[in-house]
Amino acid sequence: MRVIVTRPETDAQAWLDAIEQAGHEALYVPLIAIGPAPDVLAIERAWHQWRRWQAVMFVSAQAVRMFFAHRGSHVLLGSASSSNHETAQATGPRYWATGPGTRQALIDAGVLPDDIDAPVVADAVQFDSEALWQVIAPSIKKHAPVLIVRGNDGIQNSNPQGVGRDWLAQQIVDAGASVEFVVAYLRSLPIWSDHQLGIARQAAADGSVWCFSSSQAVLHLQAQLPDVQWHRARCIATHARIAQTARDLGFVKVMQTRPLLSDMLASLESST
């Protein structure tokens, strides 16, 4: 089977390798390009206020990597509730993640697993704001700020505070806390090579399976190929909202799975 991986470059290789190892042909056609934040000073201010936040929520592994790239050496990562004696002096926020990829990125950045709140892999049907809210709602502290680290679309007149996780932010506010945002990276349309353009056009009708991990990726596909019809194409979507965006574009054969490599590969096998 031919599988089209569309994830940003920093996240794509593991998927490409796993698909190849499973015996399929994996091709890379990126649908999101990641760039640096437009306001580095805002990120640095967030780090300087580290002990002010009751929690810092990261919308993706990209958000973790781009935000931690600006961490000062003076910032200790242990949370106020950490039981590890080595971080007893590192009073700081909890770390919130919606899924295992973001959680692993935090661990890779030096955060202790016990300081991270995220849906349990074995229990979660989806890894999203709703699943995270079930985990963190009982521990929300009123009148204490939460920082949401997210991205922004690299377009003119976009919201300077970024986009994403607005539903979660509203739940936090309704619970009596406050929310602030910082933009850690920009998302934009990638520049395709002629070879990638040819792959994309062919994959609209040759039985290839597109892997979508964000609704933005689906919208970027439409922007890249506005003249293409997608009713003969197949895709795997890692969330119900992404699946619906693909259907809105014209995909009829849509498989939905959790955003885990093992689940994605199982979906591929079931579709053969």
pLDDT digits (tens, 9 = 90+) for 48-80: 999 999 999 999 999 999 999 999 766 777 765
* 87 and 112 fall within a common domain: yes
**CA-based torsion, 129, 113, 93, 64: positive or negative:** negative
* 44 and 162 fall within a common domain: yes
Closest CA to 55 of 122, 152, 162, 133: 133
* 87 and 129 fall within a common domain: yes
* 194 and 182 fall within a common domain: no
**Domain termination residue (choose one: 188, 216, 237):** 188
DSSP 8-state symbol, 8: -
* 125 and 246 fall within a common domain: no
* 126 and 179 fall within a common domain: yes
* 138 and 44 fall within a common domain: yes
What is this structure's pTM? 0.86
Mean per-residue pLDDT pooled into runs of 10, the chain (272 residues): 92 93 95 92 94 95 95 74 49 91 95 94 77 94 95 67 79 96 93 95 94 94 95 94 96 92 89 72
User: Could you tell me where the DSSP H helices lie in the chain?
Assistant: 9-21, 40-48, 61-68, 100-108, 129-136, 166-174, 194-202, 215-224, 240-249, 261-271
Calpha distance 98→109 (Å, rounded): 17
Residue 242 belongs to domain spanning = 2-32+190-271
In this predicted model, what pLDDT tens digit does every residue of 6-22 receive, in sequence order? 999 888 999 999 999 99
Calpha distance 184→60 (Å, rounded): 10
3-state secondary structure of 130: helix
Per DSSP, the residues of 245-262 read HHHHHT--EEEE--SSHH
Q: How many domains does the chain have?
A: 2
* 61 and 150 fall within a common domain: yes
Calpha distance 145→92 (Å, rounded): 12
Structure tokens at 24: 């399929």
**Domain termination residue (choose one: 135, 168, 188):** 188
Bridge partners, 147 (sequence order): 56, 180
Structure tokens at 151: 């991205």
* 161 and 212 fall within a common domain: no
**Domain termination residue (choose one: 165, 188, 211):** 188
Per-residue pLDDT, 82: 54
To which H or E segment does residue 236 belong? strand 234-237
* 198 and 178 fall within a common domain: no
Bridge partners, 97 (sequence order): 58
* 26 and 39 fall within a common domain: no
* 53 and 14 fall within a common domain: no
For position 232, which CATH number holds?
3.40.50.10090
